[in-house]
Structure 1
């Protein structure tokens, strides 16, 4: 029951995230004196709608998106004579950009509010904790992931014990257990020298790295190195703040999230082949893209284990992803529309230098092929990720 409750709550959170994004557009448009015709959450058949003033509010059957229909958003949008004074396309360039940034701004505000709430209630991941890889346990190495193993692994055989800290691999410093794992993975079948810290003493330990075959998220078989060690819990990994100290802590953590999210967006295209491969039974990368279906399932797992802080952090991450994704300067995303407005401004600047009048709104008909292509691509990727989340979902526990 708690799992289903978590799924439902996270799905509602996603719908609210989308709704707040569109609310940001609508509110700024009204502040700028524009007319909002429709404000809907979801796509597909209309579940219900109500008209207040000049705006129709409604909910559609598929809550996977939403839209805010502003009169005269582009030159292609027909407006009535009564709507003409309120058309977005005739407003100053800075007002148009402000409206387009309204949704992004709203999602960023939601992210900050959620992070602040988590900081004072449960605590945020401590960015200044000591992440030096510490051994939690040693064991054997499964050469074949489908078979069991027994006995000591290479690390234990070399004398490495739980509590030891690994400072370097062949003289290369390692700052985290993930980096340690990556360095060892590059050295299958080799003998490496680990700099080991035990208490106040440091020593060099030579370890034979076992070669194992694993399947990547893209479905390729690769040979990597392992020595049979597991990570110890990181001390002070979570830090709780008072209401005052939570303000700078939230800002710092938000900056870290922005950097990580941008990196995730940059690597997004490269992860799509792995998503496709996972549909046909290959191992699903835990860092591969997720749809609202997969995110809701993860939300259910968190709720089932009362991991409400993680639940809220994931909602914060979703809001930030939506904000930054919409800044990509391609139509039909907000960033694409912003790019058009900026282009109009630059174009008119040079026209003015030549003694020419402003050229008016951009011709969106020339952008329609790109808009249709991007829409089709986004829809196709979305369908693929949803299928992967159904047949081979990511599981945290």
Structure 2
């Protein structure tokens, strides 16, 4: 239980640090361009403490669920003192305002990248492509009659007569299987299927330390539980006989210092793609969240709140799954970074959209020989902004409720 609590606290702390760095991204870039930053605070509610350095007040508030960076003249509704007028944000070029507004999401992307970079050189990055890289070579293979035995198999001691095909053939951790019985394989699924169909001596090709190694493995036919529930319900046998060689494939791939950065760049691109697709599917997941609140089984692909993410973080630490803990933290930062750039007020992406609208409007006015217009009147956008806030608040309320009454769990 203590490990779970530590995990929840660590994940919540990670979220708070991410939020603080988000606002710091706005502050640092604004100061770099010469804009006047009045305040930088972490949290909301009553002020716990603050101090002033130069023209900026820094502080921490009681509720650590956000933060803000107060830049003079961010919108036309912002009252600007006479001494601040020359450095009001709206007076600066569009590209500088865009950089400042996007810097918050940029910090989330940087945090996610650095977390993945650390993983690449230590715990490893998830093997999303299913590369058939051997992680462990079993001491033996044996018959298993039910799923409970299968779950406990690794803890069972091998008997003196139990076969160990992969070990006896000299396969090693780190070998990448490239062909089975002369047929090329590209992923774990293809490799497993071909091995399960074989029996007896079978040629297997592996890549080892950059060299191609040919070996012959005596594939053992053993009994295993039939994991196809639908087939079992229709009368299929509860156990099946399959070929096995006794290897475990890597779920995470580790990289050297030279390989870590390129691998992280590629993996980050993949995560951006997956996160964007998840964001597009978000509306269709909302009904499933509602159903989960009223007792339906919680779909693990439904969105979670900060509460749910922190609970998952606690479970990962409780079960020693630090790689999943870090992956959750990186994923959350990518999601928040992308979501924050949506062209909707009051998100940063909405402010960027307004900024570029002003630029396009002034360009058209110039073509017609007219002077540039003033800053957009945000009061005219208040109704749209309020709708987004209400929808966003409802979404948060739904996910928090679901994460309390019917949370997603890593383990049963």
Matched, 1:262 2:276: yes
Secondary structure, aligned partner of 1:60? strand
Contact 1:39 1:58 in 2 (8 A): yes
Matched, 1:107 2:121: no
Contact 2:48 2:59 in 1 (8 A): yes
Deviation at 1:49, TM superposition (A): 2.3
- In the superposition, relative to structure 1, how do residues 246 and 227 fare at CA in structure 2: closer, same or farther (>3 Å)? farther
Match of 1:347 among 361, 365, 374: 361
How many Å separate the matches in 2 of 1:68 and 1:305? 38
Contact 1:40 1:57 in 2 (8 A): yes
How many Å separate the matches in 2 of 1:35 and 1:307? 44
Query: Which residue in 2 is equivalent to 1:326?
Result: 340
- In the superposition, relative to structure 1, how do residues 42 and 197 fare at CA in structure 2: closer, same or farther (>3 Å)? same
Query: Which residue in 2 is equivalent to 1:17?
Result: 18
Deviation at 1:137, TM superposition (A): 8.2
C-alpha offsets along residues 327-379 of structure 1, whole Å, 9 cap, x if unaligned?
11110111111111111111111111111111121121111111111112111
User: After the TM superposition, which parts of structure 1 deviate over 4 Å for at least 4 consecutive aligned residues?
Assistant: 136-140, 194-197, 207-212, 226-230
C-alpha offsets along residues 233-282 of structure 1, whole Å, 9 cap, x if unaligned?
97232110011101110011000100000011111111111112211211
Contact 2:36 2:87 in 1 (8 A): yes
Contact 1:208 1:227 in 2 (8 A): no
How many Å separate the matches in 2 of 1:88 and 1:251? 33
How many Å separate the matches in 2 of 1:128 and 1:208? 26
How many Å separate the matches in 2 of 1:369 and 1:228? 60
Contact 1:64 1:292 in 2 (8 A): no
How many Å separate the matches in 2 of 1:46 and 1:242? 46
How many Å separate the matches in 1 of 2:324 and 2:254? 14
The alignment's TM-score, normalised by the length of structure 2, stands at: 0.73
Match of 2:391 among 357, 377, 383: 377
- In the superposition, relative to structure 1, how do residues 227 and 11 fare at CA in structure 2: closer, same or farther (>3 Å)? farther
Matched, 1:367 2:381: yes
How many Å separate the matches in 1 of 2:406 and 2:387? 28
- Unmatched segments (≥5 aa) in structure 1: 141-174, 178-193, 202-206, 213-223
Higher mean C-alpha deviation, range 122-131 or range 360-369: 122-131
Count of paired positions:
329
Match of 2:303 among 267, 282, 289: 289
Contact 1:130 1:234 in 2 (8 A): no
How many Å separate the matches in 1 of 2:382 and 2:18? 28
- Unmatched segments (≥5 aa) in structure 2: 133-142, 148-186, 204-227
Contact 2:77 2:379 in 1 (8 A): yes
Q: Give RMSD over aligned pairs.
A: 3.1
C-alpha offsets along residues 287-342 of structure 1, whole Å, 9 cap, x if unaligned?
11111111111111111122222211111111111110111111011111111111
Query: Which residue in 2 is equivalent to 1:66?
Result: 67
